[in-house]
Amino acid sequence: VLQHVASGLNKLHGLSIVHLDIKPDNILLSQGEPGYFKIADLGLAAAAIGAGCDDITEGDCRYLAKEVLQGDFADLSKADVFSLGLVLFELGTNPRSLPSNGPEWHSLRRSLEVALLPELSPKLLQLMQDLVHARKEQRPTCQAILQQLSADAMCEPDPAHVQALQDEARRCREEALRNQQRADEYWQEILCLKKQELMCEKPALKS
């Protein structure tokens, strides 16, 4: 998702267009290209340069950068980057939905609770933190995001997490095998009891 959406935003920003409403509902799985995510709904898109108050319509407040609410439209492409960071955070902590206001809303605009995402690599967690940096000038451009993903292969899963999953899968298989063995033993015991029951019934039938 990160790579595909960053790629789409990079193309928009290259045309001096900002989306301003990046959220899960506007990220669709392509039917023509299986496994590829695309950006939808450009209804709030605006010019990235020279946009004034009359040109800007605020998107979903759950994913909106704070500076947009404060009327700072100097670099709206960084607002898209911020929204992408919160989308990734929400997807990673699913089904934990983001707040639309209140203390937690403000907290997310200071720092992400990366402890909620232990399965991600430290580099990817740091990149997510950079995407939602409180100071927009500290956020990377979409082109920089793509370069980092390519150079560091941060989308690859954490080896320790992969090993933990493999160990858990092995444990589940072994437990399933033990359960199957116990089930077979129970069936054998049931069959023996049935045979004994039939043997006890035979004399009664003869009399």
Catalytic residues: 21
Q: What are phi and psi of 123, to 5 degrees?
A: -65, -40
Distance CA 112, CA 30 (A): 29
Exposure string for 184-206, b = 16+ CB within 10 A, e = fewer: eeeeeeeeeeeeeeeeeeeeeee
Half-sphere exposure of 110 (CA within 13 A, CB side): 5
- Please confirm whether the linkage preceding 95 is cis (ω < 30° from 0): yes
E strand intervals along the chain: 17-18, 27-29, 37-39, 46-47
Give the phi and the psi of residue 17 in degrees, each rounded to 5. -125, 140
160 contact partners, CB below 8 Å, separation of at least 6: none
Cβ(98)–Cβ(90) below 8 Å: yes
